[in-house]
Structure 1
Amino acid sequence: MLVNPGGPGGSGVTIAMALGKSIQTVVGPHQDVIGFDPRGIGATTPRADCFSYPADGGDGEDDHVRGQFHRTLWGNAGRQIGLVNSSSVALQKLDTRARVQAKLCAEKDSLKGSDSIFRHLSTPTVARDMLSIVDAWDEWTAALPSESAPGKLSATDDKLRPDPSKGPISLDTKSKLVYWGFSYGTLLGATFAAMFPDRVGRLILDGVVDADHYVSPLWSESIRDADAVSRSFSRYCHGAAESCALYRDNDTVADIEERFELIRTSIMDHPITLIDPISKMPIVISYSDIRLVLFVCLYAPTQTFPIVAMILDSLYRGSDAVVGQIFGWPPDLELQPFCGPPPPPSLYPNEAQAAIMCSDKRYELNETIPNLHRLFEKLETESSWADVWMTLMIGCDGWQISAVDPPMRWDSNPANTSKPIKTSFPVLFISNTADPVTPLYAGVKMAQKFVDAGLIEQKSEGHCSLAAVSQCTMKKIRAYIEKGEVPPAPVRGGKGRELIDGKWDRCEADEWPFHPYESDTWLAAKGEVGVDDVESMDALRDMQKKFYRQATFLGQIGGLNMGKINDFVLQT
């Protein structure tokens, strides 16, 4: 089973090392878990690094220490601008920065010519790499004794075989891809399935990216459910009562919302200033910074909403202690100590996320400032989080490097037909009811691009199914992998945007904000369950904690990452 954590830019190697054992517990011990760092990412070389150049200006190794120093200076300067609506000139400044960084990457690309990594890291190219991994795996396992070869059940595995009454189905995944992809990893998996439909063994696409909008200039439809997630905070806080730090006696939901509005107004008028207790660096925290933190927290509400309540309560009481622990000394500077050897290049940030997203665009973003303002105003009518999303998406404006593999044309798939793609085994899509960046409607829509694809809606908030552990979801995943059981294909309930009132499998979550999963409490509520279920649920919880600690999606625009927030969650 190959795994990809998304991003784009996430390290599959890191995820496999951190989550491998837990993934095996969930999907079954017959699966070996393989992580790979896609082109330009992590330990894969060459790196998608626009800032590092050889120290002597020649053809030697890139100086990653100096490159990271320049990247940090550049990033901190951009942080002072804030989000696109933080001032009357913010959007123009951010657009100018995007264009000059694109120019920097183009200059690095020109030094390597046709061998430049920036021309060879698009999603279709990485899909070809995945196929090469499958072929290499087959070549290696062909030399193993037949009873130990992965991907095929032995004669003693009767309990894993499907019900014959449901019709014949092959569980042999030899020469086929078995894969679990999250977030952008669903786009990567769907691309593989479109390019190599006869090589699909099992594909779990979790937190589904809408491919049509991903290749568009702004990918704007992605945040259509973000407000549903953020609005749920006050409701969950009210339900938790004293367990929520922002709650006061006899509060209504409206009281909590009003308290939050007072905090928001205060920060907009008076940015937070503090001195980092370790470095003694002065720090200014603007409303834009707080917005970024709050948006990141929408990815995993069960874990982070209690922290959001602590942040807001601290600010309401006039204290900056909690905020200081989260922002503190910039994490990028912690990579390079003033004394001691530098870390390996694979640990430094890079420009892979922007390079992949910009290379993948079928329809380029190259707009004038007035047009960008109009695009932002339209996005504002669709989501209150338009400011955060536009700040991220504007990063592709003026991108100059074309990928060798042209971007996918999803609106008429590779066969240039609107017919659904027939894969050698049906694909399994998983979406949450309210996901801040990969909405449920995208899961419904993408499932209909593939013949007989199944869909599971997990009734929870957050990004990907790991946002909340669910016994129901876990069992359906395992049945899909081990028994070949595919949930029914979704049936649309309406036209156009009305994709969320149809029929498909739905799973309740076993935790929610301020009510986290704990095995003892869960067992008491469930009654008798098997030992395997308890182990699998505990493994899901372990996956959840480690997965979101590695999340990288917003780390490069906010000067923070989910790991720093999650470290604080674990400490408290």
Structure 2
Amino acid sequence: MPPSRLFRSTTAAAAAATAALALLISGCSSGGPSPGGAAPGRSTEAGAGRPASDGSPLEPLPAVVPTALRPYYDQRLSWHDCGVAGFQCATMKAPLDYDKPDPGTDLKLAVARKKATGPGPRIGSLLVNPGGPGGSAIDYLQQYAPQPAAVRARYDMVAMDPRGVARSEPVECLTDRQMDHFTQIDTTPDTPAEVGKLVTAYRNFAEGCEARSGKLLPHVSTIEAARDMDILRAVLGDQKLTYVGASYGTFLGATYAGLFPTRSGRLVLDGATDPSLDSRTVNLEQTAGFNTAFTAFATDCVKRQDCPLGTKSAADAGRQLSALFKKLDTHPVPTGQDRKLTESLATTGVIAAMYDEGAWSLLRTAIAQAKDGNGRALLALSDSYYERSASGHYANQMYANPAVNCLDLPAPFTSPDQVRAALPAFRKASPVFGDNFAWNALNCAYWPVKPTGTARRIPAKGAAPIVVVGTTRDPATPYAWAKGLAAQLSSATLLTYVGDGHTAYGRGSDCIDTAINTFLLEGTPPAKNKRCT
């Protein structure tokens, strides 16, 4: 059961999933989140028929730092060795409540950096965020995001786990055993009893978060995280923020630009989200985005002799996958563990592979094995998506994710009846995933904290040039969202990758990488409407 609206970078999500599955398929031991995009028959790239937003714009904060916040901006970080080669770590203080800062309730936010290596003069600090919400920026920096040598040479590479995430006062909700049960709940309920079990699961999840993290839950919004980033910019000694954000990290970066346009430097927003969309539209369009990705996978699959979904057509492959899910709904298959592969876990495993076309061959093998009664490989994909370790421990991403999402926007649905009414639209968006994604979108209905945010356009007037990157067949952040964000931001340039997968920077396109590196190093954005393959 992936939480609703999970936006995370391909590198952070799919690399781990692909590695885990590769180990299993080779015979070795391995030692939410929400899906969506444009409806079938409608190009995600064109965004045809998409309603314009009438949301009010996000207004900038006053340029002068309030006196009550001055101590946070004036603090000095004490850096120490992280234990990871070349990295230093520190702890930064931020107010729990920006409206009522109180040193007695301050949050301690984890920061890491790798100083510029040279040659060439240092430009400043480059902050990175992999998305989620809930992804650890520090893990991302240390494991996957060293950036090209030319960029490393000129920037201190910096990451901060946002409030509520990983090392920064993490939101906690369930025990590992409870989370195992939660991920196996049926998210395509066929009877009133199954609907009741799903609602109970959402209520229990929310109650667990309130019991373990109640004080923090009202204060993990994207606006508050963006304000934390401005404190970090100041304590690092930078006049303007330089930033590369992926997936949800684009919403965080755009929010920063909207709040602090005059302090925004070179921002790269890759795999962009559209902040002007309400939560129901976001979920529906993301559903179709995964359908677009699955159609691309299926089209490739049916051309191959080893396709486990037949060789007729992409539509037929979708029907065969749906049949497999339906079979698993009533007859889960063994995995070699004490957990069987259920329909919900299998669906999550397929979703994980949609983030990166490099995982397609492994997904074909995993589906074939599941059809033969061996669910081990699809379970491995699902576990990596949930960040479940081999020991059975879950990272906190799946707890931080709904905590942020349910605070940022009002719930898309407030009752099972509303989900039932929306099922035809979700099924049209994705015959394979529609029911699953619609019911997943019910999770915020039972959240213990009322939302503080709303859908808003972000013009960020006065900001320096911003590069927005969109991939035409992106499953998690449909291309129409990149076009929407680029149209809102007054200084944005849209850079397009024509291809598959989620996000584009550092994924093999020399055209994309050169354009972004040039922008970061020289401040020159790519040409208007530049497209890369």
Alignment-derived partner of residue 257 in structure 2: 193
Name the one with the larger helix percent: 1
Secondary structure at 1:436 match in 2? coil
Q: Does structure 1 residue 291 correspond to structure 2 residue 347?
A: yes
1:431: how far off?
0.7
Does the alignment pair 1:387 with 2:387? no
**Does 1:209 pair with 2:273?**
yes
User: What runs of 5+ residues in structure 2 fail to find an aligned partner?
Assistant: 1-125
**2:530 alignment partner, one of 498, 505, 509:** 505
Supply the distance in 2 between the matched residues of 1:183 and 1:200 (Cα, whole angstroms): 19
Q: 1:76 to 1:427 in 2, by over 3 A?
A: same
How far apart are residue 287 of structure 1 and its match? 2.9
What's 2:59 paired with?
A: none
Preserved contact between residue 202 and residue 481 of structure 1 (Cα < 8 Å): yes
Q: What SS class does the counterpart of residue 35 from structure 1 fall into?
A: strand
Alignment CA distance shift 1:20-1:466 (3 Å)? closer
Paired residues of 1:4 and 1:12 also in contact (CA < 8 A) = yes
State whether residues 247 and 477 of structure 2, in contact with CA within 8 Å, keep that contact through their aligned partners in structure 1. Answer: yes
Corresponding position of 1:98: 202
**Candidates 265, 269, 273, aligned match of 2:323:** 265
More strand per residue: 2
Shift of 1:326: 5.3
CA distance in 2, matches of 1:12, 1:203: 16
1:304 aligns with 2:364: no
1:348: Cα distance to partner? 5.6
Deviation string 1:2-46 (CA, Å, 9 cap, x unpaired) is: 00010000001111111343x14264521221011000111112x
**Distance in 1 between residues matched to 2:375 and 2:210, nearest whole Å:** 42
State the number of aligned residues.
404
Give the TM-score normalised by the residue count of structure 1. 0.64
Per the alignment, residue 410 of structure 1 pairs with: 456
Secondary structure of 1:213's aligned partner: coil
What corresponds to 2:7 in structure 1?
A: none
Report the Cα distance in structure 2 between the residues aligned to 1:328 and 1:347, rounded to whole angstroms.
Answer: 11
Residue 218 (structure 2) pairs with residue 119 (structure 1): yes
Residue 489 of structure 2 corresponds to residue 450 of structure 1: yes
In the TM superposition, residue 202 of structure 1 has moved relative to its aligned partner by 0.7
Deviation at 1:87, TM superposition (A): 5.0
**Is the contact made by 1:7 and 1:183 (CA closer than 8 Å) also made in structure 2?**
yes
Using structure 2 for the length normalisation, give the TM-score. 0.68
Is 1:372 paired with 2:425? no
Q: What residue number does 1:471 align with?
A: 510
CA contact (8 A) 1:335 1:348 kept: no
Pick aligned residue for 2:144 from 8, 19, 30: 19
Q: Which runs of 5+ in 1 are unaligned?
A: 52-70, 111-115, 139-173, 338-345, 414-419, 490-503, 509-572
Query: What is the CA RMSD across the aligned residues, in angstroms?
Result: 3.1
Cα deviation per residue 1:483-528 (whole Å; 9 max; x = unaligned)?
2222355xxxxxxxxxxxxxx21101xxxxxxxxxxxxxxxxxxxx
Cα pair distance change 1:194/1:321, threshold 3 Å: closer
Cα distance, 1:380–1:89 mapped onto 2, change above 3 Å = farther
Task: Tell me: CA distance 1:310–1:348, structure 2 relative to 1, closer, same or farther (3 Å).
Answer: same
Moved more, 182-191 or 220-229: 220-229
Q: Is the 8 A contact 1:429 1:456 kept in 2?
A: yes
Task: Give the direction of change, closer, same or farther, for the CA distance of 1:304–1:286 in structure 2 (3 Å limit).
Answer: same
In 1: Cα distance, 2:474 partner to 2:383 partner:
29
Take 2:204 and 2:468, find their aligned partners in 1: how far apart are those partners?
Answer: 38
The 3 A distance-change label for structure 1 pair 352 and 234 is closer
Residue in structure 2 matched with residue 3 of structure 1 by the alignment: 128
The residue that corresponds to 2:307 in the other structure is: 246
| Counterpart Cα distance in 2 of 1:319 and 1:355 | 35
Q: Is the CA contact (8 Å cut-off) linking 2:334 and 2:374 kept in structure 1?
A: no
**Which AA in structure 2 matches 1:392?**
N
Distance 2:383 2:454 in 1: 41
> Sequence identity, in percent?
22
Q: Deviations over 1:186-235 (max 9, x none)?
A: 00001000000111111100111111226558633223332221111233
Give the 3 Å change call, closer, same or farther, for CA 40–305 of structure 1 in structure 2.
same
1:483-522 matches, cutoff 5 A: 483-488=522-527, 504-508=529-533
Q: Secondary structure in 1 aligned to 2:402?
A: helix
In structure 2, C-alpha distance between the alignment counterparts of 1:267 and 1:425, rounded to whole Å: 48
Report if aligned partners of 1:225, 1:437 keep a CA contact under 8 Å in 2.
yes
Q: Which AA in structure 2 matches 1:485?
A: T
Structure 1 residues 295 and 127 mapped into 2: Cα distance closer, same or farther (>3 Å)? same
Partner of 2:173: 50
Residue 368 of structure 2 aligns with which residue? 313
- 1:425 aligned onto 2:425: no
Q: Structure 1: which amino acid aligns with 2:434?
A: A
Secondary structure of the equivalent of 2:333? strand
Structure having the higher Rg: 1
- Cα shift at 1:423: 3.4
Distance 1:333 1:18, change over 3 A: closer
Q: Matches of 2:127 and 2:400 in 1, distance apart?
A: 20
1 CA distance for matches of 2:527 and 2:136? 32
Distance 1:121 1:267, change over 3 A: closer
- The amino acid across from 2:171 in the alignment is A
CA change 1:237–1:285 in 2 (3 A) is same
Q: Using the alignment, how far apart are the partners of 2:527 and 2:389 within structure 1?
A: 49
In structure 2, relative to structure 1, the CA distance for the partners of 1:231 and 1:505 (3 Å cut) is same
Using a 3 Å threshold, how does the CA distance of structure 1 residues 421 and 257 change in structure 2: closer, same or farther?
A: closer
The answer for the alignment partner of 2:298 in structure 1 is 234
Residue aligning to 1:74: 178
In the alignment, the residues of structure 1 paired with residue 378 and residue 209 of structure 2 have an alpha-carbon distance, to the nearest angstrom, of: 34
Range 181-190 or range 318-327, more displaced: 318-327
Q: CA deviation at 1:80?
A: 3.9
Q: Matched residues in 1 for 2:251 and 2:130: separation?
A: 11
Partner of 1:561: none
Question: Per the alignment, in what secondary structure is the counterpart of residue 3 of structure 1?
Answer: strand
Counterpart in 2 of 1:501? none
Q: Is contact 2:278–2:454 with CA below 8 Å preserved after alignment?
A: no
